[in-house]
């Protein structure tokens, strides 16, 4: 039996490897062994981090996290951030344009996660070409909601259906939204879209011998879990008729899962985390000399940073 | 119009019993705004109470996830499918696998802990739901309506049982006269007779004397007089039995099902024709790898693997990609993207991209080299010349002439580059043997079993079991045993001399490396640069950089280099360059694929599936692609050129299947079954395939296994519905770039509601490819299937009878004592395994039945452990031993190939060259350059957008929302000259398709007209289009089933497909250009005209 197998949550305190031993492994053992344990058991990791926070040894193990896939490092940092009171964490996203390969996995991953219908996209990727042959460049810019600190979309809402929550995410309240689209116009980043209630398969016939839409739209009508609720696409029910936007997948965040666009990023160009945690990857990244934000001149103070 | 109300839920009566979904929705509503963020307890608090903040992301629970494998392209990423009430709702990367997380999770991570851990996945992988839930998927067997022609799109539904009866028994199935069924083609049924015939045929083909050969044929006819009616042609027994007149042709087939196909076609029906699609992908790359990996077995070079090497990117410091589109295709995303993006930004990796198009991977490269299509080998040879001239080669590695020498200097692989080669009339031929020079004398001795054996003995008494090869060691000819672990030989690198042979004659010899050097020196760097239309300084810069990182540099090639008439030699050149720096088996150098054994052969159990096949038929004879017997040895040899080319160095020549059937050469085919194939869409000059498909006289019976009415299926006589990749079993294997030992298990994640179940051998299984095979097997009582299919009392009736045993083999490991088996699933893991599959019907998942198949409780728990992780993955860090790859190739690399050099090109009668050499691209089958004149000024190339996988992703609307259609890319300079503007509709035509159309052979034509995209990101004179659009089936056009018209979806018609413009061979006329050495179909050299449509 390996070390990891012993590290079940039940066993951390009483049997097998204790929390303290686990911390010991983090501090003194070779990087690989420690990381295997880290990755093996997030709850043990979380417990270990609690203790590290108490002991003030956090920075030390943060350095070790660098041997992990950044997705794992960020996930562990997310678990750490979730320990803090809501108001003390500040979610930011960092997009390294040098690593974005224009694959659109984030666009589709987001569509799949949030069950977005035709015409609704939270995170497009804009492709551009510059130069003259043979001196050519191509650039790919993912454009999620900027989750502005001063969001122009919020004050224009006549029914207060959109607001900034305690963690800095600009949320939608689908139950309040009347679909007036003021917010769509107000957003300088075009990050909001209307849901007109379409599905991808609605025009396709059902006939003997073919699967047809009775089954084929099951995945489209399965619920999303936006804002921690269960929105199956049914009739004219929300979110049909509402304004829709990126929310950093907060339903996932709260479960300790990174946003869908982050985990599916095959170039590892998208980073997410708590900027208030000085040891977090995102905190490191936004201190880079090549950092920028879109349309700074508007004073919107985006929480999405780009590395050029 | 839709038969279904647009929004059916609205009309559902209130009184309906609440579904679970509704109930949950209600509960969510009741909870109402209490679920707002601010009021939620923190994660930590919840965790302390042992709760999860439920309702936020319920799909993150491991009980709602099944780990399986993607098949949206052939990268085969491990995935996990998140399931909501039986519906596949979201797909993520499987973090246990090195495909989607770098490094991947330790294998022993409890499954209960990984519900919220996700690896990365490309957009096609994300969109896979739309492949499974495609409304155009067929759910009944379709038969071509009698009285209508193939391709007309008129179908009738027919029961599975009746369809099987018809294809097995034949008859007047379409009112067009009698059609032979499987019972007629399955002529030779006695395995003993087949074996005896096969042995005799081997004698016939091995006989070199024409007269004796004829006499042997007569003797054969006497010996097998009673069974001659079972042969295709008794006067040519080497064509084999009538059974060979069934051809199974596959597009995308993976192991598991691949093993099933071998069992069905060869062991069952006794046909030699189980033909793959390799040459449409990168055949010449694979078969260059095969030729380079042939090993000396003591009497001949054999056992070459159909494979190739790729760079271990995560540790490379410099890489040149040639014709490899790593961010969009080529088994790149997501597997190889992260090491490149992170490497380039964080790790100082430099890479160059050689490609006429400025691809996405080129956009991040240190250097882009927009080379002239097809002239990659000029770049390679130019680099090679510079490396020789500047002494930038790894002499230490190259001097090692055998295994002992390699091992002594810390290498695992070695080359034959210092072995001596005969030069006759200036041409390199056979390798020199020790006895020729009197280095050894032939003696006979008695071995320990009392058997007389031949040995070759040197003057000092050293014994060789065969006549050894020879290397020059400080000017002295020295015998070499390639596989010796005791007698290291380090040879002189460059040898060009004459020697006295044992008969006192003077012979000219050179070392292989000398021959390669001379090949590279045939032209100057300036001349090579002129050929490739690049700068000489580009060649030098790449060569200098390539030789500046020790063994942590690599040249990584893919189909861009391979799909030319010179593809074999281009691949050979670039692998040779890698050998010149000695990077094979080195960290950051060249890596080979490594998988766990699913067949139980290495551990001799627990299920040795290859042996669990009593009474298997023995297929023999010539395949329709002419790869199993060489032309000169066959009884149908008739001088040069042959009627159609033969392929002694390659197999799976996809472009030759249908033209060969059309020409009835080497013999007519009666029944063809296509599996996951769009052969008349995917191939260059694919419209020529349709001509054969549409003609029942040329091909009397076509059966396809498909998930919809696809481009090939539309010409079928019968289409049997298949399961999508989310509903079935397979073992996806690996790629050379994966340095870990792995095997992934594709297994049913969902079952579509109401999916038809059919009976085989009295049991219900899902309508599927397996059902088709088992149904035929049942009707013909084929060996290897049914109640005793896997041995006496061991049934093969359910798909999992076969596949689950393979998983058990993976779980058990490769040691006979089971000591490298995986851990056993604990109770929690078992619980998750069962709960995750609770939505599957009993015909698909029955834990009791499954457990009974595996048998042993321990092995069952180990099997669950593998299933829970979607495969078996070697641990992070286990792939290196110091600076070397742990899963090393560790064998000989042939830089001079005697076998290739002694193989005859069936069209020219000349031998192939056994060394890397320059050949112009774009030659006809008789080796002549093709000149199509100024009327066709552009070179047409293809590429992949990341959103498309050739024929099969047009059904994915999410992908189409990103890129609804493709375009023809043209440089702005060219567009301006032609007066064309961005967005113009343009027609593509060529000398072999001057009208620029697809003739669908059903009275309709499809113009090769697409939108022009004017860009700077392509070499002037070259035009390119992304593959995957321009469909004429797959739900894009109307079809009629049982008299009712089903409207096609115009979204699926978008874009265009210009493969029909690709050049047909001027000699053969009905097939694309082909590399006769490596078999590749030519994609990138046709000259076309582009004009406003």
Closest-CA residue of chain A to B82: A113
User: B576 in a domain, yes or no?
Assistant: yes
Lowest mean pLDDT among A112-121, B36-45, B564-573, B868-877: B36-45
Give the domain CATH number at A107.
3.30.70.20
- pLDDT, greater one: A27 or A191: A191
For residue B645, what are its two tokens?
């080319």
Same domain (yes/no): B24, B74: no
For residue B725, what are its two tokens?
């990749």
Please name the residue ranges forming H helices in B612-702.
Answer: 654-663, 679-682, 687-693
User: B386 in a domain, yes or no?
Assistant: yes
Nearest alpha-carbon partner for B52 in A14, A282, A82: A82
Same domain (yes/no): B934, B1074: yes
Is there a contact between A136 and B1017 if contact means CB atoms under 8 Å apart?
Answer: yes
Among the candidates B501, B517, B533, a domain finishes at B517
Instruction: Give how far A120 is from chain B: nearest CA, Å.
Output: 10
Q: Of A1, A72, A222, which is closest to B89 when you measure between CB atoms?
A: A222
Same domain (yes/no): A176, A37: no
Is there a contact between A215 and B752 if contact means CB atoms under 8 Å apart?
Answer: yes
Q: Of A109, A227, A267, which is closest to B126 when you measure between CB atoms?
A: A109
Q: What is the pLDDT of residue A206?
A: 67
Residue A97 sits in which domain range?
Answer: 92-307
CA distances from B906 to B641, B654, B1064 (A): 6, 18, 19
Is there a contact between B1015 and A129 if contact means CB atoms under 8 Å apart?
Answer: yes
Same domain (yes/no): B525, B543: yes
Which of the four pLDDT bands, split at 50, 70 and 90, describes residue A235?
A: confident
Burial class (CB within 10 angstroms; exposed 0-12, middle 13-18, buried 19+) of B135: buried
Is there a contact between A107 and B962 if contact means CB atoms under 8 Å apart?
Answer: yes
pLDDT over 50 at A85, yes or no: yes
Same domain (yes/no): A251, A110: yes
Same domain (yes/no): A42, A151: no
Burial class (CB within 10 angstroms; exposed 0-12, middle 13-18, buried 19+) of B251: buried
User: B551 in a domain, yes or no?
Assistant: yes
Q: What average pLDDT does range B994-1015 have in this prediction?
A: 97
CA B814 – CA A5 distance, rounded (Å): 23
CA B775 – CA B773 distance, rounded (Å): 5
Q: Of A5, A109, A254, which is closest to B43 when you measure between CB atoms?
A: A254
Same domain (yes/no): B1080, B997: yes
Q: What average pLDDT does range A77-92 have in this prediction?
A: 93
Same domain (yes/no): B535, B386: yes
Instruction: Give how far A92 is from chain B: nearest CA, Å.
Output: 17
pLDDT over 90 at B36, yes or no: no
Lowest mean pLDDT among A143-157, A189-203, B363-377: A189-203
CB pairs A-B closer than 8 Å: 350
User: B936 in a domain, yes or no?
Assistant: yes
Nearest alpha-carbon partner for B576 in B491, B650, B651, B512: B512
Q: Of A197, A214, A255, which is closest to B60 when you measure between CB atoms?
A: A255
The sign of the dihedral angle between the CA atoms of B325, B625, B1072, B913 is positive
Which among A47, A85, A211 is the top mutation candidate for probing chain B, defined by the most B β-carbons within 10 Å of its own β-carbon? Answer: A211
pTM: 0.92
Q: What is the pLDDT of residue A64?
A: 73
Q: Of B9, B113, B134, which is closest to A216 when you measure between CB atoms?
A: B134
Same domain (yes/no): A121, A259: yes
User: B142 in a domain, yes or no?
Assistant: no
User: B860 in a domain, yes or no?
Assistant: no
User: B846 in a domain, yes or no?
Assistant: no
Is there a contact between A219 and B88 if contact means CB atoms under 8 Å apart?
Answer: yes
Residue B1000 sits in which domain range?
Answer: 927-1092
Q: Of A8, A200, A214, which is closest to B957 when you measure between CB atoms?
A: A200
Is there a contact between A40 and B113 if contact means CB atoms under 8 Å apart?
Answer: yes
Which of the four pLDDT bands, split at 50, 70 and 90, describes residue A201?
A: confident
Q: What is the pLDDT of residue B57?
A: 81
Same domain (yes/no): B508, B527: no
Judging contacts by C-beta atoms under 8 Å, the chain B residues touching residue A34 are: none
CA B359 – CA B375 distance, rounded (Å): 18
**What is the CA angle B564-B568-B569, rounded to 5?**
100
Q: What is the pLDDT of residue B901?
A: 98
Q: What average pLDDT does range B1038-1059 have in this prediction?
A: 95
Which of the four pLDDT bands, split at 50, 70 and 90, describes residue A51?
A: low
CB B1 within 8 A of CB A205: yes
Mean pLDDT of all residues belonging to chain B: 94
Is there a contact between B338 and A266 if contact means CB atoms under 8 Å apart?
Answer: yes
Q: Of A75, A111, A227, which is closest to B958 when you measure between CB atoms?
A: A111
Same domain (yes/no): A35, A98: no
Burial class (CB within 10 angstroms; exposed 0-12, middle 13-18, buried 19+) of B284: buried
CA A69 – CA A267 distance, rounded (Å): 12
CA B652 – CA B646 distance, rounded (Å): 12
Q: What average pLDDT does range B234-249 have in this prediction?
A: 98
Q: What average pLDDT does range B567-585 have in this prediction?
A: 98
Number of domains observed in the structure of chain B: 6
Instruction: Give how far B293 is from chain A: nearest CA, Å.
Output: 33
User: A82 in a domain, yes or no?
Assistant: no
Same domain (yes/no): B503, B645: no
Q: What is the pLDDT of residue A44?
A: 56
Among the candidates B480, B501, B517, a domain finishes at B517
pLDDT over 70 at B505, yes or no: yes
Judging contacts by C-beta atoms under 8 Å, the chain B residues touching residue A107 are: 123, 962
Among the candidates B624, B647, B667, a domain finishes at B667
Closest-CA residue of chain A to B102: A69
* β B730-731/B506-511 pair status: unpaired
Give the domain CATH number at B341.
3.40.228.10
User: B807 in a domain, yes or no?
Assistant: no
For residue B1038, what are its two tokens?
């109307």
Q: pLDDT for A210-225, tens place per residue?
A: 777 677 888 988 999 9
Same domain (yes/no): B83, B215: no
Judging contacts by C-beta atoms under 8 Å, the chain A residues touching residue B55 are: 225, 228-230
Q: Tally Cβ neighbours within 10 Å of residue B156.
A: 17
Instruction: Give how far B796 is from chain A: nearest CA, Å.
Output: 29
Same domain (yes/no): A132, A235: yes
Q: What is the pLDDT of residue B26?
A: 34
Q: What average pLDDT does range B36-61 have in this prediction?
A: 48
Please name the residue ranges forming H helices in B72-231.
Answer: 123-126, 129-132, 160-169, 182-185, 191-206, 210-223
Q: Of A85, A98, A255, which is closest to B345 when you measure between CB atoms?
A: A98
The torsion angle over the Cα atoms of residues B953, B954, B958 and B959, rounded to 10 degrees, is: 70
Same domain (yes/no): B495, B567: no
- pLDDT, greater one: B388 or B11: B388
Is there a contact between A257 and B116 if contact means CB atoms under 8 Å apart?
Answer: yes
pLDDT over 70 at B874, yes or no: yes
Q: What is the pLDDT of residue A217?
A: 84
Lowest mean pLDDT among A225-234, B462-471, B953-962, B969-978: A225-234
Q: pLDDT for A239-250, tens place per residue?
A: 999 999 999 999
Judging contacts by C-beta atoms under 8 Å, the chain A residues touching residue B53 are: 228, 254-255
Q: Of B44, B103, B132, which is closest to A83 when you measure between CB atoms?
A: B44
Task: Specify the length of chain A in residues.
Answer: 308
Same domain (yes/no): B589, B634: no
Q: Tally Cβ neighbours within 10 Å of residue A289.
A: 6
Is there a contact between A39 and B109 if contact means CB atoms under 8 Å apart?
Answer: yes
Nearest alpha-carbon partner for B234 in B201, B186, B265: B201
User: A130 in a domain, yes or no?
Assistant: yes
Judging contacts by C-beta atoms under 8 Å, the chain A residues touching residue B344 are: 98
Tokens 């286990």 — which residue? B878
User: A75 in a domain, yes or no?
Assistant: no
* ipTM of the complex in this document: 0.93
pLDDT over 90 at B725, yes or no: yes
Among the candidates A18, A52, A68, a domain finishes at A68
Is there a contact between A36 and B876 if contact means CB atoms under 8 Å apart?
Answer: yes
Same domain (yes/no): B971, B1086: yes
Is there a contact between A225 and B58 if contact means CB atoms under 8 Å apart?
Answer: yes
Is there a contact between A225 and B55 if contact means CB atoms under 8 Å apart?
Answer: yes
Same domain (yes/no): A101, A56: no
Instruction: Give how far A300 is from chain B: nearest CA, Å.
Output: 23
Which residues are CB-neighbours of B343 under 8 A, at least 6 positions away? Answer: B313, B314, B316, B349, B351
Instruction: Give how far B262 is from chain A: nearest CA, Å.
Output: 30
Read off the DSSP letter of residue A224: B
Is there a contact between A41 and B6 if contact means CB atoms under 8 Å apart?
Answer: no
Tokens 């089954």 — which residue? A215
Number of domains observed in the structure of chain A: 2
Is there a contact between A209 and B1041 if contact means CB atoms under 8 Å apart?
Answer: yes
Same domain (yes/no): A151, A204: yes
Q: Which residues pair with B266 in a beta bridge?
A: none
Same domain (yes/no): A47, A99: no
Instruction: Give how far A286 is from chain B: nearest CA, Å.
Output: 16
Which residues are CB-neighbours of B217 under 8 A, at least 6 positions away? Answer: B204, B235, B236, B237, B635
Same domain (yes/no): B947, B1075: yes
Q: pLDDT for B642-661, tens place per residue?
A: 999 999 999 999 999 999 99
User: A182 in a domain, yes or no?
Assistant: yes
User: A24 in a domain, yes or no?
Assistant: yes
CA A235 – CA A93 distance, rounded (Å): 34
pLDDT over 80 at B99, yes or no: yes
């Amino acid at each position: 039996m390996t070390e990891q197998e012993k590290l079940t949550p039940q066993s951390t305190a009483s049997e097998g490897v204790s929390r303290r031993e686990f911390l010991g492994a983090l501090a003194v053992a070779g990087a690989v062994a420690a990381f295997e344990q880290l990755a093996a058991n997030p709850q043990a990791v979380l417990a270990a981090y609690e203790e590290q926070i108490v002991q003030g040894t956090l920075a030390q193990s943060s350095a070790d996290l660098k041997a992990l896939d950044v997705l794992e490092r960020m996930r562990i940092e997310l678990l750490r951030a979730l320990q803090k009171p809501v108001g003390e964490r500040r979610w930011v996203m960092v997009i390294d344009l040098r690593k974005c390969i224009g694959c659109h996995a984030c666009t589709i991953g987001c569509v799949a996660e949030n069950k977005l219908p035709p015409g609704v996209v939270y995170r497009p990727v804009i492709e551009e070409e510059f130069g003259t042959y043979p001196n050519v460049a191509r650039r790919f810019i993912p454009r999620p909601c900027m989750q502005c600190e001063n969001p122009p979309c919020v004050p224009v809402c006549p029914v207060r259906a959109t607001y900034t929550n305690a963690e800095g995410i600009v949320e939608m309240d689908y139950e309040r939204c009347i679909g007036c689209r003021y917010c769509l116009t107000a957003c300088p980043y075009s990050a909001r879209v209307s849901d007109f209630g379409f599905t991808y398969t609605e025009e396709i016939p059902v006939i003997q011998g073919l699967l047809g839409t009775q089954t084929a739209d099951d995945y489209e009508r399965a619920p999303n879990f936006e804002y921690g609720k269960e929105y199956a696409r049914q009739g004219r029910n929300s979110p049909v008729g509402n304004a829709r936007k990126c929310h950093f997948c907060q339903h996932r965040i709260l479960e300790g899962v990174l946003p869908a666009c982050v985990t599916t990023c095959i170039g590892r160009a998208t980073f997410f985390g708590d900027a208030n945690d000085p040891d977090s990857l995102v905190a490191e990244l936004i201190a880079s000399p090549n950092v920028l934000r879109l349309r700074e001149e508007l004073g919107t103070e985006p929480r999405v940073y780009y590395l050029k | 119009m839709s038969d279904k109300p647009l929004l059916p839920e609205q009309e559902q009566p209130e009184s309906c019993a609440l579904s679970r979904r509704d109930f949950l929705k209600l509960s969510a509503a009741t909870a109402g705004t209490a679920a707002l963020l601010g009021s939620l307890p923190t994660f930590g608090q919840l965790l302390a109470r042992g709760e999860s903040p439920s309702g936020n992301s319920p799909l993150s629970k491991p009980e709602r996830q099944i780990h399986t494998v993607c098949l949206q392209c052939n990268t085969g990423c491990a995935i996990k499918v998140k399931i909501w009430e039986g519906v596949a709702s979201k797909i993520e990367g499987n973090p246990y696998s090195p495909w989607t997380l770098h490094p991947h999770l330790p294998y022993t991570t409890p499954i209960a802990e990984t519900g919220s851990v996700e690896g990365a996945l490309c957009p096609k992988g994300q969109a896979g739901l739309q492949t499974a839930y495609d409304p155009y998927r067929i759910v009944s067997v379709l038969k071509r309506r009698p009285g209508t022609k193939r391709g007309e799109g008129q179908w009738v539904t027919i029961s599975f049982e009746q369809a099987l009866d018809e294809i097995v028994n034949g008859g007047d199935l379409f009112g067009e006269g009698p059609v032979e069924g499987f019972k007629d083609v399955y002529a030779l049924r006695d395995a003993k007779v087949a074996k005896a015939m096969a042995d005799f045929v081997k004698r016939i083909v091995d006989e070199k004397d024409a007269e004796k050969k004829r006499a042997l044929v007569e003797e054969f006819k006497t010996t097998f007089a009673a069974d001659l009616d079972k042969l295709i042609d008794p006067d040519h027994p080497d064509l084999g039995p009538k059974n060979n007149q069934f051809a199974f042709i596959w597009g995308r087939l993976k192991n598991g099902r691949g093993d099933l196909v071998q069992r069905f076609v060869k062991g069952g029906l006794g046909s030699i024709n189980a033909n793959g699609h390799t040459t449409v992908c990168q055949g010449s790359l694979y078969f260059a790898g095969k030729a380079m990996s042939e090993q000396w077995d003591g009497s001949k070079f054999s056992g070459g693997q159909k494979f190739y090497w790729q760079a271990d990117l995560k540790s490379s410091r410099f890489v040149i990609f040639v014709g490899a589109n790593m961010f969009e295709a080529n088994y790149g995303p997501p597997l190889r993207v992260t090491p490149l993006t992170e490497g380039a930004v964080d790790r100082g990796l430099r890479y160059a991209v050689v490609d006429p198009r400025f691809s996405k991977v080129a956009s991040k490269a240190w250097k882009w080299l927009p080379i002239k299509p097809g002239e990659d080998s000029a770049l390679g040879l130019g680099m090679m010349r510079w490396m020789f001239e500047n002494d930038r080669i790894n002499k230490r590695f190259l001097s090692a002439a055998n295994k002992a020498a390699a091992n002594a200097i810390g290498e695992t692989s070695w080359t034959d580059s210092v072995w001596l080669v005969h030069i006759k009339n200036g041409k390199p031929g056979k390798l020199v043997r020790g006895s020729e020079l009197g280095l050894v004398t032939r003696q006979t001795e008695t071995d320990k079993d009392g058997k007389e054996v031949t040995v070759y003995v040197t003057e000092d008494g050293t014994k060789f079991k065969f006549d050894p090869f020879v290397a020059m060691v400080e000017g002295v000819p020295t015998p070499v045993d390639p596989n010796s672990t005791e007698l290291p030989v380090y040879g002189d690198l460059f040898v060009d001399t004459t020697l006295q042979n044992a008969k006192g004659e003077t012979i000219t010899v050179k070392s292989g490396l000398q021959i390669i050097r001379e090949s590279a020196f045939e032209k100057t760097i300036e001349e090579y640069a002129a050929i490739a239309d690049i700068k000489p300084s580009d060649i030098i810069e790449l060569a200098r950089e390539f030789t500046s990182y020790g063994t942590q540099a690599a040249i990584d090639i893919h189909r861009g280099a391979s799909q030319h008439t010179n593809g074999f030699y281009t691949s050979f050149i670039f692998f040779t360059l890698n050998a010149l720096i000695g990077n094979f088996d080195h960290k950051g150098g060249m890596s080979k694929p490594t998988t766990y054994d699913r067949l139980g052969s290495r551990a001799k159990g627990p299920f040795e599936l290859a042996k669990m096949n009593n009474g298997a038929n023995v297929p023999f004879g010539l395949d329709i692609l002419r790869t199993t017997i060489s032309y000169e040895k066959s009884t149908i040899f008739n001088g040069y050129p042959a009627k159609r080319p033969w392929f002694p160095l390659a197999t799976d020549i996809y472009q030759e299947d249908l033209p060969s059937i059309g020409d009835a050469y080497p013999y007519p085919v009666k029944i063809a079954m296509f599996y996951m194939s769009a052969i008349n869409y995917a191939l260059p000059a694919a419209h020529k395939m349709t001509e054969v498909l549409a003609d029942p006289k040329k091909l009397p019976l076509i059966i396809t296994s498909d998930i919809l009415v696809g481009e090939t299926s539309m010409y079928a006589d019968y289409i049997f519905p298949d399961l999508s990749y989310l509903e079935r079993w397979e073992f996806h294997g690996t790629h050379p770039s994966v340095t870990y030992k792995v095997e992934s298990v594709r297994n049913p994640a969902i079952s579509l509601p109401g999916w038809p179940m059919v009976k085989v051998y009295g049991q219900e299984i899902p309508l599927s490819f397996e059902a088709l095979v088992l149904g035929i097997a049942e009707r013909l009582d084929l060996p290897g299937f049914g109640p005793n299919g896997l041995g006496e009392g061991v049934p093969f009736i359910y798909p999992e009878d076969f596949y689950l045993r393979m998983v058990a083999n993976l779980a058990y490991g490769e040691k006979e004592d089971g000591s490298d088996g995986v851990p056993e699933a604990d109770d929690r893991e078992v619980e998750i395994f069962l709960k995750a599959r609770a939505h599957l019907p009993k015909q698909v998942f029955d834990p009791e039945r499954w457990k009974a198949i595996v048998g042993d409780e321990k092995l069952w728990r180990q099997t669950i452990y593998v299933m829970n992780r979607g495969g078996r993955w070697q641990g992070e860090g286990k792939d290196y031993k110091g600076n070397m790859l742990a899963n090393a190739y560790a064998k000989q690399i042939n830089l001079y190939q005697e076998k290739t050099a002694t193989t005859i090109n069936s069209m020219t009668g000349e031998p192939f060259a056994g060394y890397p050499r320059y050949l112009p691209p774009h030659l006809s089958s008789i080796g002549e350059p093709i000149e199509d004149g100024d009327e066709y000024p552009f070179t047409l190339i293809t590429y992949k957008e990341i959103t498309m996988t050739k024929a099969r992703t047009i059904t994915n609307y999410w992908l189409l929302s990103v890129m609804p259609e493709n375009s023809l890319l043209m440089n702005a300079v060219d567009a301006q000259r032609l007066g064309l503007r961005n967005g113009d509709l343009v027609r593509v035509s060529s000398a072999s398709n001057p009208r620029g159309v697809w003739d669908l052979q059903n009275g309709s034509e499809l113009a090769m007209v697409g939108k022009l995209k004017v860009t700077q990101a392509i070499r002037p004179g070259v035009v390119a289009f992304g593959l995957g659009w321009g469909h004429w089936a797959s739900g894009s056009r109307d079809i009629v089933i049982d008299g009712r018209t089903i409207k096609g979806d115009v979204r699926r018609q978008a874009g265009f497909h210009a493969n029909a413009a690709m050049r047909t061979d001027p000699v053969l006329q009905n097939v694309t250009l082909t590399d006769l050495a490596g078999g590749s179909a030519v994609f990138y050299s046709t000259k076309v005209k582009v004009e406003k449509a």
